[in-house]
Structure 1
Amino acid sequence: MVLSPQDIHNKEFSTKLRGYNVDEVNDFLDQVIKDYQIVLQENKDLNSQLNEAKDKLSYFNDLKDSLNQSILVAQEAADKVKTNSKKEAEITSREAQKKADDILNAANEKADAVLEEASKRAKKLAIETDDLKKNTRVFRQRLQVMLESQLEVIKGSDWDRLVEEKPTTTYEDIEKVVGSLDNIANPGVQSETKQSNGAADVEETPATVDDSNQTVVIYPDGRTQNE
C-alpha cells in the first residue's frame, strides 16, 4: 500500500533512551511530506498527460485508419475510372477506325467505279477513233480513185479531139465524149477496205471539181451535180 502524505504526517514513533531528536525528526518528516506531495503531484500530472497522449494516439490511430480506408476507396474509384476511361477510349478508337475504314472503302469503290467508267469510255473512244480512221481511209481511197478516173477521162484523146479547133466536130461527137464521162462517173468506186465490227459509217463530204464555167460536185457513190 502506497503511503500518503497524511500517513507520513500522522506517523508516531516510540521514544527510547538516547533516541533521535524529536524536532529534527519532525522537521525532516515535514520536508519528506512536501517532497512526497510534489512527487505525487508530478506523478498525477504525468498520468494525466499519459492518458491524454493515449487518447490522442487512439484518435490519430482512428484517423489513420479512416484515412487509409478513404485512400483505399479513392484508389478503387480511381482504378474504376481509369478502367472505364480505357474501355471508352478503346470503343471510341474502334468506332473511329470503323468509320475511317467505311469512308476509305466507299472512296475506293467510288474511285474504282470512276476508273472503270473512264476505262470503258476510253475503250469506246479508241474503237470509235479507229473506226473513224478506217472510214476516213476508205473515203480517201474512194475519192482518190474517183478523182484519178475523172482525171484520166479528162486527159483522154476524146477530149483532145473535142477541143480541137476544127470545123469537123459535130454535136454527136460532143455527146459521145460527154456520155463516156457519165458512164465512168456514175457506176461509183468500190472500196478495197472492209469495215470491221459493224462500225457506223462516217458522213462523207462531197468533193468538187471546178471547170471553167461551172462546178461539178462528185459524190463518193458516183453521183454528180452541176452547180
Structure 2
Amino acid sequence: MDANPERMTGEFRVDLTPLDIRYQEFRQSLRGYAVAEVREYLGRVSDRLTLILEENERLRAQVRDLETQLAGAREGEAELKRAVVAAERIAREIKAQAEREAEIIKRETEAERQAALQEAVDQIKRMKAEIDQARNERDLFLSQFRALLEGYLTSLERYKR
C-alpha cells in the first residue's frame, strides 16, 4: 500500500489508517526483520498518524469555523456598506430638506420685513398727514382767532370813538 496522501478535491485522502498500520502483517523471510521491533515501530507510526489525523481534523474544523466567521464578517461588512450608503443618502436628503426650509424661512422673513417696512412707511405717512392736519387746524385757529381779535379791536376802537 502507498502511504503517501493524495490531493483529492481540496482535501488529503489517507490510504492508510492508524489501525491499518498497527495491524499490518508481513510475510516472514529468511533474512527478515525482528518482528517485535517492526511491531513497536508500526505502533509508534500508528500513534503518530492518529495524532496527525486528529490535528488535521481539528485544523479542518478550525478552518470551517474561520470560513464561517469570515462569511459572517463579509456579510456584516456588506450590511455596514449598505448602512453607510443609506446614511449618506439620508444625510443628502436631510441637507436638501434643510436648504429648502431655510429658503422658505428666508422668503417668509423677507416678506415679513417688507410688510413691517411697508407698515412703518404707511404709519409715517399717516403721522405726516396728521401733523399736516394739525398744522392746518392750528393755522385756521390762529387766523380765526386773529380775525376775532381784530374784530374786537375794531369794535373797541369804534366804541372808543
The correspondence for 1:205, drawn from 127, 131, 152, is 152
Residue 62 of structure 1 is matched in structure 2 by 75
- Measure how far apart 1:84 and its partner are: 0.7
The correspondence for 1:35, drawn from 43, 48, 51, is 48
- Measure how far apart 1:119 and its partner are: 3.9
C-alpha separation between the residues in 2 aligned to 1:99 and 1:85? 20
Residue 99 of structure 1 is matched in structure 2 by 112
Pick the structure with greater CA Rg.
1
Residue 78 of structure 1 is matched in structure 2 by 91
- Measure how far apart 1:47 and its partner are: 0.1
The correspondence for 1:23, drawn from 21, 27, 36, is 36
Residue 10 of structure 2 is matched in structure 1 by none
**Residue-pair matches, total:** 147
TM-score w.r.t. structure 2 length?
A: 0.74
Gaps of at least 5 residues in structure 2 are: 1-5, 7-13
CA RMSD, aligned part only? Answer: 2.9
C-alpha separation between the residues in 2 aligned to 1:15 and 1:116? 141
Residues 192-222 of structure 1: per-residue CA shift (max 9 Å, x gap): xxxxxxxxx3442248xxxxxxxxxx744xx
Residues 51-79 of structure 1: per-residue CA shift (max 9 Å, x gap): 01101110121122112212221221222
With over 3 angstroms needed to count, the CA separation of the structure-2 counterparts of 1:224 and 1:27, relative to structure 1, is closer
TM-score w.r.t. structure 1 length?
A: 0.55
Residue 155 of structure 1 is matched in structure 2 by none
Q: Which has the higher contact order (CA 8 A, sep 6+)?
A: 1
Gaps of at least 5 residues in structure 1 are: 137-200, 208-217
- Measure how far apart 1:13 and its partner are: 3.0
Residue 224 of structure 1 is matched in structure 2 by 159
Percent identity of paired positions between Structure 1 and Structure 2: 24
C-alpha separation between the residues in 2 aligned to 1:57 and 1:14? 52
The answer as to 2:45 corresponding to 1:48 is no
C-alpha separation between the residues in 1 aligned to 2:159 and 2:59? 146
List aligned pairs for 1:89-128, cutoff 5 A: 89-119=102-132, 121-122=134-135, 125=138
C-alpha separation between the residues in 2 aligned to 1:68 and 1:48? 30
C-alpha separation between the residues in 2 aligned to 1:90 and 1:206? 73
Residues 98-135 of structure 1: per-residue CA shift (max 9 Å, x gap): 11221111111211331244246436746875x68xx9
C-alpha separation between the residues in 1 aligned to 2:100 and 2:159? 89
SS of the aligned residue for 1:20 comes to coil
